[in-house]
C-alpha cells in the first residue's frame, strides 16, 4: 500500500492546481462510493438487520438489560 501512496503522491505533486482540484473531487467521490457500498452490504445482511431490529424493540420496550449499543460492545 505504501508504494501506491507514494505513486499517488508523486502524480498529485505534478498536477496543475485545477487538475489537483479535480483529482481531489474524484478521490472524495471514490471514498463516498466505498462508504455507500459498505452501508449497502450491511443493509443486505439479514443477521445484522435481525440484531438491529431486536435492539430497537428492546429499547422501545425499555428493556435496558437487553439493549447494549453496538459502540459499547465494540469500543468505538
Pair 28, 50 in one domain: no
At 69, list the grid cell.
Answer: 449499543
Domain count, the chain: 2
* Position 69 confidence tier, pLDDT thresholds 50, 70, 90: low
Residues 13 and 29 in one domain: yes
What band does 75 get if pLDDT is binned at 50, 70 and 90? confident
24 and 50 in a single domain? The answer is: no
**Do 76 and 50 share a domain, yes or no?**
yes
Contact partners, residue 42, CB within 8 Å, separation at least 6: 48
pLDDT tens for residues 3-12?
999 999 999 9
Residues 30, 56, single domain; the answer is: no
Q: Which domain holds residue 3?
A: 1-40
**4 Cβ contact partners less than 8 Å away, ≥ 6 residues apart:** none
pLDDT on residue 76: 61
Residue 36 — pLDDT band, cuts 50, 70, 90? very high
| 1 and 29 inside one domain | yes
Amino acid at each position: 500500500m505504501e508504494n501506491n501512496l507514494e505513486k499517488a503522491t508523486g502524480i498529485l505533486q505534478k498536477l496543475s492546481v485545477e487538475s489537483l482540484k479535480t483529482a481531489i473531487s474524484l478521490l472524495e467521490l471514490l471514498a463516498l462510493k466505498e462508504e455507500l457500498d459498505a452501508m449497502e452490504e450491511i443493509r443486505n445482511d439479514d443477521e445484522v438487520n435481525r440484531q438491529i431490529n431486536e435492539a430497537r424493540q428492546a429499547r422501545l420496550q425499555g428493556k435496558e438489560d437487553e439493549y447494549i449499543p453496538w459502540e459499547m460492545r465494540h469500543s468505538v
